[in-house]
């Protein structure tokens, strides 16, 4: 017995409401997506986050301050500070 059969869901990508049936295939990590397009967008966002992380780390290595990185990349200071600590830890382990 499937607990999500014929339940109304809302796509986390586009916000469209849809009915999830027993055979629904567009799901990942407990989330349901209305279409293949929206399902694939989750993979693209993961790649974008990885690229953004690389940009933040490079800016830190280049000596930019948190406020400069915030203005340049549009990131929150907490995120920048997190990656600043991670880089420092990696450098300490080497």
Cα separations (Å) of 59 from 8, 40, 47, 83, 94?
44, 29, 19, 11, 20
Model confidence over 7-64: pLDDT tens digits?
A: 888 888 888 998 887 777 788 777 888 888 888 887 666 667 888 899 999 999 999 9
Show me where the domains of the chain are located.
1-34, 48-94
Quick one: three-class SS letters along the chain? CCCCCCEEEECCCCCCEEEECCCCCCEECCEECCCHHHHHHHHHHHHHHHHHHHHHHHHHHCCCCHHHHHHHHCCCHHHHHHHHHHHHHHHHHC
Residue 1 in this model has a pLDDT that exceeds 50: no
pLDDT score, position 82 = 94
């Amino acid at each position: 017995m499937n607990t999500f059969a014929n339940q109304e869901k809302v796509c986390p990508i586009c916000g469209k409401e849809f009915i999830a049936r027993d055979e629904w295939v567009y799901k990942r990590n407990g989330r349901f997506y209305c279409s293949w397009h929206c399902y694939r967008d989750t993979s693209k966002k993961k790649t974008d986050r990885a690229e953004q992380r690389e940009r933040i780390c490079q800016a830190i290595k280049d000596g930019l301050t948190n406020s400069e990185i915030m203005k340049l990349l549009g990131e929150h200071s907490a995120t920048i500070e997190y990656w600043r600590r991670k880089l420092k830890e990696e450098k300490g382990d080497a």
